[in-house]
Amino acid sequence: MAEKKIIAVVGATGAQGGGLVRAILSDASSAFTPRALTRDVNSDRAKELAKLGAEVVAADVDDVESLKRAFKGACGAFCVTFFWAHFSPEKELAEAKAMAEAAKHAGIQHVIWSTLEDTRKWVPLSDSRMPTLMGKYKVPHFDAKGEANQVFTELGLPTTFLLTSFYWENLIYFGMGPKKGPDGKLAITLPMGDKKLPGIAAEDIGKCAYGIFKKGREFIGKTVGIAGEHLTGAQMAAALAKALGQEVRYNDVPPEVYRSFGFPGAEDLGNMFQFKRDFEQVFCGARNLDVARALDPSLQTFDRWLAQNKSRIPLE
């Protein structure tokens, strides 16, 4: 049997990378084997991946030499950054540069860069419809990822640019689940008007990435957008109500109200939702459901995700 080709996975103990590691390992006839990168090979999550059969190695995206060691001998690399760990777009850009440099050094044959739109292409800093944040961004956690695309391109890396979507897990972990209003009724609050929000089960991102690695050349140099479904706030609320067996309303607020909520990242997320609302066709159009389903035949719909996960959504 031919030796399996190694895919080095950044963020392997997290949502996107973890999904990719599990997708590879669950395919017994795979031509690939995952190398899971983590800062702590002794953490419970790292040990869990080792138990599943992954090679687990130490690396930190802030340490380019550690990335070079971790990418050595690999044929593919999945690259992702961690904005919410530090809230710094500059740091995110530096981390993307470190991964691209290490991929070049290791001669990686196929890189997947988990990116998002640089919203400044549609909303220049001079556009006053949303505030400029951190001096030179409209949506800091999007813009630096989009800006970093050119780092991979300029180094001539064989890259697929993967545009991800809103994780439905945000309803569990990110404080975006239904909350009781003054009337005692549950509601989800999103500043999306009647526009559609592309969403996805986080685990499906890794499965789609695996589909891209399997297709190989066909996707090199391409931008691929993925989502499980495009749903309005009202449709999400209706699906939640059905799954939870109680009324859930959609609380549509203006983006400026969302920006003023005061939690860390509220302004960034307010601008992000406004971008998705005001550029619905661009944003949904870049995330084709059929493409995602072809890459990941078990791609979940919101209803299916809810059936599996409704009990994990914290309710007051």
List of residues contacting ligand NAP (CB under 6 A): 11, 13-17, 38-40, 43, 46, 60-62, 80-85, 141, 164, 166-167, 170
Nearer to ligand NAP, 31 or 291 (CB): 291
CB of 94 to ligand NAP, least distance (A): 11
Going by C-alpha positions, the residue among 274, 244, 242, 240 that lies closest to residue 257 is 274
Separation of CA 183 from chain center: 34
Q: Which single residue brings its beta carbon nearest to ligand NAP?
A: 14
Q: For ligand NAP, which is the closer residue by CB, 75 or 205?
A: 205
- Shortest distance, position 11 Cβ to ligand NAP, whole Å: 4
Residue with smaller CB distance to ligand NAP, 84 or 298: 84
Q: Closest Cα to residue 142, out of 199, 207, 198, 93?
A: 93
73: left (phi over 0), alpha (psi -120 to 50) or beta: left
Closer residue to ligand NAP (CB): 84 or 180: 84
Say whether 313 sits in a helix, a strand or coil.
coil
Q: How far is the CB of 245 from ligand NAP (least distance, A)?
A: 26
**CB closer to ligand NAP out of 31 and 41:** 41
> With the C-alpha atoms ordered 222, 94, 259, 262, is the resulting torsion angle positive or negative?
positive
* Region at 156 (left for phi over 0; alpha for psi -120 to 50; beta for the rest): left
What is the bridge-based pairing of β-strands 229-232 and 196-200? antiparallel
Closest to ligand NAP by CB, 21 or 186: 21
Nearest to 284 by CA among 222, 231, 209, 213: 231
> Do 79 and 11 contact (CB within 8 A), yes or no?
no
The nearest distance, CB 168 to ligand NAP, in angstroms, is 8
Instruction: State how beta strands 179-180 and 186-190 pair.
Output: antiparallel
Nearer to ligand NAP, 41 or 234 (CB): 41
CB of 5 to ligand NAP, least distance (A): 22
Please name the helix (run of DSSP H) or strand (run of DSSP E) that holds residue 187, with its range, or none. strand 186-190
Q: How far is the CB of 182 from ligand NAP (least distance, A)?
A: 28
Residue ranges of the alpha helices (H) in 201-288? 202-215, 233-244, 255-259, 266-278, 280-285
Which ranges of the chain does DSSP label H, i.e. alpha helix? 15-25, 44-52, 64-71, 83-86, 89-106, 140-154, 170-173, 202-215, 233-244, 255-259, 266-278, 280-285, 289-295, 302-309
Query: What span, in angstroms and rounded, lies between the C-alpha atoms of 314 and 126?
Result: 40
**Minimum distance from CB of 227 to ligand NAP (Å)?**
10
| Nearest distance, CB of residue 283 and ligand NAP, angstroms | 12
Q: Which is nearer to ligand NAP, 168 or 219 (CB)?
A: 168
